[in-house]
Amino acid sequence: MKSVKKFAIIAAFAVALTACSTTPTPGKTVEKPPFNILWVSGVTGALASNTEGEKEGAQIAIDEVNAKGGILGRKIALEIVDDKSNPTEAVTVLQKRLAAGTKPDLIRVGNSSPEALAMLPIVTRAGIASYTVGGAALLDDPKAYPLFKTVSSGFTPGADIIEKYVLKMKYKHLVVFIQQDAAGDSELASAKLAYAGTGVTLEEARYNAADVDLSVPFQRAIRNNPDAIYAACIGATCPRIVLARGSSVGGTDIPMIGSIAMSSSPGGLAAGVPPELIKNLFAVSYTSSVNRPSAQSPQFAAFYKKLLKYGTPALIPNPVTGYDGIKMFAAAAEHAKSTDGAKMIAAIDDIKWKPGDFITWGKGTVDYTAKSTFPKLSDGSLVMFGIAPQKGGLYPPDNIFIP
């Protein structure tokens, strides 16, 4: 694994190299300054393993772009700042960094929606382009955050697939098991919109994502014997929900359907738990998460081969989205012929993205517009499947439900 220190050394070396090349030498070409990416995320804390995987994918993208001369001739330099997976800490370290040092060309604002929502007002005022993988509906505000995009589908497409599955199974009573935060509010809003007029009764149940033991809130969630539970989570909270389900009497008898973040939990939900705990457990995920080559793009195979150099991946979605975010802005700068933040964002909306441009969504197509920070996805970009042990970071192509 590449350490955080090594990333910092790379960034420092790139800046030092630029400083050394500011004075032209007769007969030599002046090297352009680096394209600086500031990555504020949880190197430590609850989302540390997610960040580690994303860094690996990002580094693969950086190596590819730099090998071709960089972004408009500017080599990418990555600087990582640890926010301890905490939104309050994220604001503190971001403000400190922006007050000193070179102004970044691009900022990665966290690995979760709460982190992104905390940092976006600061980044927007600074006039710097930014992105994240967060999916909360509150992030979808181009007027408030005109220099921001996500490399997440948001909650709506996943909720649509779950709705189709719930209706197919003829469930009438669904518990929405969600966090006590903005991400949970977004999940609930999406669920209410999805099931309006369908005859499905929704029951809300909340939990504190900071709690290690979630058995008590889970027991409250199943006290009225629902037909199924829709559970939303992120990072290390997801396995805790699975464990709480197993410790609750009758918990595994009730089907549970997880969000995209649940299928992207560290090590996979089947890792380190007894097989009976994944009984009746389903989740929505990116196409790239399932070992089904017919649904994946040729670009994925090349990426996966490079990823193996870091060791066998525990989970694919994090490295994949780390890769796609860097490649998206590199393509946008080339399209705009500029590294100006506003021009790169406009280019993301203007590019006619082809299947495979984003390996996250396999052969599905992606359409960005100025009306949303989230891309519109084509059918087949997301899948729902029965949870099973992963191999090489991929879920087996069994028990897949694709609407």
Dig out the tokens for 145 from the structure: 């955050």
Neighbours of 100 (CB within 10 A): 6
Asked whether residue 46 carries a pLDDT value surpassing 90, the answer given is: no
Q: Where are the beta strands (DSSP E) in 50-186?
A: 76-82, 106-109, 129-132, 148-150, 173-179
Domains 4-152+299-377 and 155-291+382-401 share a fold: yes
CA dist 166 and 176 (Å) reads 12
Bridge-based pairing state of the strands 382-386 and 376-377: unpaired
pLDDT of residue 379: 83
Could you state, in order of their start, the residue ranges of all structural domains in the chain? 4-152+299-377, 155-291+382-401
| Cα–Cα distance measured from residue 188 to residue 136, given in angstroms and rounded to the nearest whole number | 11
Pairwise CA distance, residues 109 & 115, whole Å: 7
Mean pLDDT calculated for residue range 238-250: 90
Instruction: Give dist(CA 287, CA 112) in Å, integer.
Output: 21
Does the structure show a pLDDT above 70 at 399?
no
Q: How many helices (H) and strands (E) does the chain have?
A: 12, 14
Instruction: Give me the pLDDT at residue 6, please.
Output: 43
**Is 366:344 a contact under the CB 8 Å cutoff?**
no
Looking at the DSSP assignment, which residues form a beta bridge with residue 242?
Answer: none
For the chain, percent of residues with pLDDT exceeding 90: 57
* 45/273: higher pLDDT: 45
Mean pLDDT of 366-386: 90
Q: What is the pLDDT of residue 28?
A: 59
Phi and psi at 68, nearest 5°, equal -100, 15
**Please, is 59 exposed, middle or buried when counting C-beta atoms within 10 Å of its C-beta (0-12, 13-18, 19+)?**
buried
pLDDT digits (tens, 9 = 90+) for 317-367: 889 999 999 999 999 999 999 999 999 999 999 999 998 899 999 888 899
Distance, C-alpha 17 to centroid of its chain: 32
Mean pLDDT score of the chain, rounded to an integer?
87
For residue range 102-126, list pLDDT tens digits in order: 999 999 999 888 899 999 999 999 9
Q: Work out whether the CA dihedral 62, 67, 72, 76 comes out positive or negative.
A: positive
Check residue 203 and give its pLDDT: 96
Q: Does domain 4-152+299-377 have CATH number 3.40.50.300?
A: no
Instruction: At 86, list the tokens.
Output: 């905490």
pLDDT of residue 19: 42
CATH superfamily of 155-291+382-401: Response regulator (3.40.50.2300)
Report whether pLDDT(157) > 80: no
Residue 244 has pLDDT above 90, yes or no: yes
